[in-house]
């Protein structure tokens, strides 16, 4: 490589440009990238530093500190970073590195590799990332409703759709509708057992938001609008969302950064938060002997490290499964799945790195001796399944609502009929 | 993109092993991908699903809802997952030579 005079290639305003283009929910949180000491604490925190090529947050920050704009924009780290936030936990300058990465991704003319951008565009065009039509959505709900009518022995049972004035609007993931309809029955049972006033919507049934990963704030807001507008139209009080990590975080963070203050006032409740709450309040009763398994939990970065839902998942599993064991390390120190930051839809360009990173998780999962690993995030769920297959772990990957629904105690005359 | 050899022919696949060109599919592809999915034998029901997926994709350019798949083939949901342990999107589509469905699958 030809040596270059640094002063000829550096753009001294690059650091300020990043901060200027970055979205903050509070101007007081604006910072100067000069706070970055290039000390490398981020690299020590990140589980994947130098585990795969070109994955070193310190080197990335150092390039920014030096103003090497061209180098930064073509740095593979921009798309390899899983945006999990582990690097920031011990950073003396409290630099939100995942937000720096997000800003570089979306505000400097780059386009996300693989299918990431395509998925965001499909969402904007069709209202959900899988192009599921309203007719197909309703057809699938009817189908699961019929199965529940049979299971409950109640021909009048209805899954509430588009109910104006319901207390809770529940936002599923379109893949539950398109490919995993058993999930519909699972979360419906939870709401029915808790006697909630709830509804789903035929117009907003996608919890995801890939605007979080492509870094484009205008697109992120467009995607989030589908749910916000529908919640306003139905006049609901609360919004509960299915077990999707990034979607939950996009809503909770997004309402502060993509909207004006006071424009969106809903609290977006992740399913794990909701389920822990109804268990604590005694709104549902459970029998853990219905899940006679050893179960562990993976901590998704978006729900745990960023969203603060640290104890909720553990609390649920201790109630609904016979034997809960934790991983080590755990909680906000848990090893990442390796598939975050949009790595799954990016496909080929990052697949090899994704599987290498997943080996750390695979070893950690196996060390628990658990038969089931729960992940309250659809993306982690897929990554864990890929790890499971790649490293032949033979574990079952589940969401928490699967185990809760299975452990529910039903009042006499309600719920599933005993099998004949 | 990598290639795999099936009956002496070079078949292009993506990083997850899905064919990139559905038109290049031939019967032996289904048997080849079945092995990778841990499916030992392809029954009539497997073929019912594969043929329906191929037909639907040829007309619509997208994989069908599982609702349509069950309705049109008459195979109950539970059995689909028994036939294709990785499920309809990741398993059945692969055997039928459909590209990997887009979105979180």
Q: For A347, which of B14, B65, B68 is closest by C-beta distance?
A: B14
Q: What is the mean pLDDT of chain A?
A: 95
- Nearest-Cα residue of chain A relative to residue B100: A347
Whole-number pLDDT of residue A420: 56
CB A247 within 8 A of CB A177: no
Q: What pLDDT sits at residue A209?
A: 98
- How would residue B67 be classed by pLDDT, with cut points 50, 70 and 90? very high
- Supply the pLDDT for residue A419: 67
Residue position matching structure tokens 């037909």: B55
Degrees, nearest 5: CA angle A117-B15-A99: 40
Output the pTM of the full model.
0.95
Q: What's the whole-number mean pLDDT along residues B49-60?
A: 96
Q: For residue B25, how far is the Cα from the chain centroid?
A: 10
| Residues of chain B with C-beta less than 8 angstroms from the C-beta of A136 | 65, 67-68
Which one of B29, B70, B93, B104 is the catalytic residue? B104
Instruction: Calculate how close chain B gets to A177, using CA atoms only, in Å.
Output: 8
Cα A250 to Cα A246: distance, rounded to the nearest angstrom: 6
Q: Where are the domains of chain A?
A: 3-107, 117-279, 284-409
**ipTM of this model?**
0.92
- Asked if B103 lies within 8 A of A175 by C-beta distance, the reply is yes
Closest by Cβ to A122, choosing from B65, B87, B102 = B102
Burial-class residue A38 by CB neighbours within 10 Å (0-12, 13-18, 19+).
middle
Catalytic annotation on B104? Answer: yes
Domains defined for chain B, CATH in brackets: 3-95 (1.10.10.370)
- Condensed to tens digits (0 to 9), the pLDDT of residues A254-281 reads 999 999 999 999 999 999 999 999 999 9
CATH for the stretch A3-107: 1.10.1060
**Residue A397, beta-bridge partner list:** A373
Q: How far is B102 from chain A (nearest CA, A)?
A: 7
**What CATH code is assigned to A284-409?**
3.40.50
Low-confidence ranges of chain A (pLDDT < 50): none
B101 chain-A contacts, CB cut-off 8 A: 130
Residue of chain A nearest B89, judged by CA positions: A179
Identify the closest residue of chain B to A173 by CA–CA distance. B104
- Return the pLDDT at A27: 72
What pLDDT score does A218 carry? 97
Q: A29 — alpha (psi -120 to 50), left (phi > 0) or beta?
A: alpha
Q: Contact, A155 vs A126, CB < 8 A?
A: no
Among A118, A131, A348, the residue with its CB nearest the CB of B14 is A348
pLDDT recorded at residue A215: 97
For residue A329, say if its preceding peptide bond is cis, omega within 30 degrees of 0: yes
Best B33, B49, B65, B100 member to test A by mutation, with max A CBs in 10 Å, is B65
8 Å CB contact of A351 and B87? no
Q: Which of residues 50-79 of B touch A (CB under 8 A)?
A: 62, 65-68, 70, 77
Kindly report the average pLDDT of chain B as a whole number: 93
Residue of B nearest to A350 (CA): B15
Could you tell me if A87 and A46 are in contact, meaning their C-beta atoms sit under 8 angstroms apart? yes
- Tell me how many residue pairs between chain A and chain B have CB atoms under 8 A apart: 66
- The beta-carbon neighbor of B65 closest among A132, A344, A379 is A132
Dump the DSSP string for A86-120: GGGTT-TT---HHHHHHHHHHHSS---STTHHHHH
Q: Are A103 and A21 in contact (CB under 8 A)?
A: yes
Chain B nearest CA to A280, separation (Å): 32
pLDDT for the residue B59: 96
């Amino acid at each position: 490589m030809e040596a270059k005079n640094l002063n000829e290639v550096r753009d001294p305003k690059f650091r300020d440009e990043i901060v200027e283009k970055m979205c903050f929910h509070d101007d007081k949180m604006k910072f100067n990238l000069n706070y970055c000491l290039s000390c490398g604490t981020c690299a020590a925190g990140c589980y994947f530093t130098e585990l795969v090529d070109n994955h070193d947050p310190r080197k990335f920050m150092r390039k920014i500190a030096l103003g090497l704009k061209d180098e930064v924009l073509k740095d593979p780290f921009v798309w390899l970073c899983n945006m999990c936030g582990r690097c920031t936990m011990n950073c003396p300058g409290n630099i939100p590195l995942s937000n720096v990465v997000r800003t570089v991704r979306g505000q400097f003319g780059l386009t996300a590799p693989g299918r990431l951008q395509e998925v965001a565009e499909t969402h904007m065009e069709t209202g959900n990332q899988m192009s599921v039509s309203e007719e197909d959505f309703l057809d699938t709900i009817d189908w699961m409703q019929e199965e529940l009518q049979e299971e409950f022995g109640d021909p009048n049972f209805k899954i509430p759709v588009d109910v104006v004035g319901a207390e809770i609007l529940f936002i599923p993931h379109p893949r539950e509708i398109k490919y995993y309809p058993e999930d519909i029955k699972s979360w419906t049972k939870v709401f029915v057992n808790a006697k909630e006033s709830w509804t789903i919507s035929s117009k907003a049934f996608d919890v995801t938001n890939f605007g979080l990963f492509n870094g484009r704030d205008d697109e992120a807001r467009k995607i989030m609008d589908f749910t916000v507008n529908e919640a306003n139209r139905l006049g609901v009080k609360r919004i509960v969302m299915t077990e999707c990590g990034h979607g939950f975080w996009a809503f909770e963070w997004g309402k502060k950064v993509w909207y004006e203050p006071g424009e969106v006032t809903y609290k977006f409740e992740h399913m794990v938060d909701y389920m822990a709450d109804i268990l604590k309040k005694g709104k549902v009763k459970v029998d853990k002997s219905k899940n006679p398994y050893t179960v562990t939990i993976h901590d998704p970065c978006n729900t745990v490290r960023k969203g603060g839902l640290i104890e909720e998942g553990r609390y649920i599993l201790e109630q609904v499964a016979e034997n809960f064991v934790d991983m080590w390390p755990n909680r906000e120190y848990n090893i990442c799945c390796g598939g975050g930051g949009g790595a799954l839809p990016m496909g080929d360009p990052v697949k090899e790195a994704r599987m290498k990173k997943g080996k750390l998780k695979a070893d950690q999962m196996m060390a628990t001796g658990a038969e089931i690993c729960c992940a309250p995030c659809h993306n982690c769920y897929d990554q864990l399944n890929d790890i499971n297959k790649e490293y032949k772990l033979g574990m079952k990957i589940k969401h928490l609502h699967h185990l809760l629904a299975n452990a529910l105690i039903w009042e006499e005359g309600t719920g599933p009929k005993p099998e004949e | 993109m990598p290639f795999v050899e099936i009956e002496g022919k070079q078949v292009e696949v993506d990083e997850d092993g899905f064919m990139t060109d559905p038109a290049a599919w031939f019967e032996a592809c289904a048997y080849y991908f079945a092995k990778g999915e841990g499916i030992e034998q392809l029954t009539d029901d497997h073929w019912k699903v594969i043929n329906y997926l191929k037909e639907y994709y040829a007309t619509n350019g997208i994989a069908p809802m599982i609702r349509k798949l069950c309705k049109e083939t008459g195979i109950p949901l539970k059995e689909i997952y028994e036939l294709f342990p990785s499920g309809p999107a990741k398993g059945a589509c692969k055997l039928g030579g459909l590209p990997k469905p887009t979105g979180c699958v």
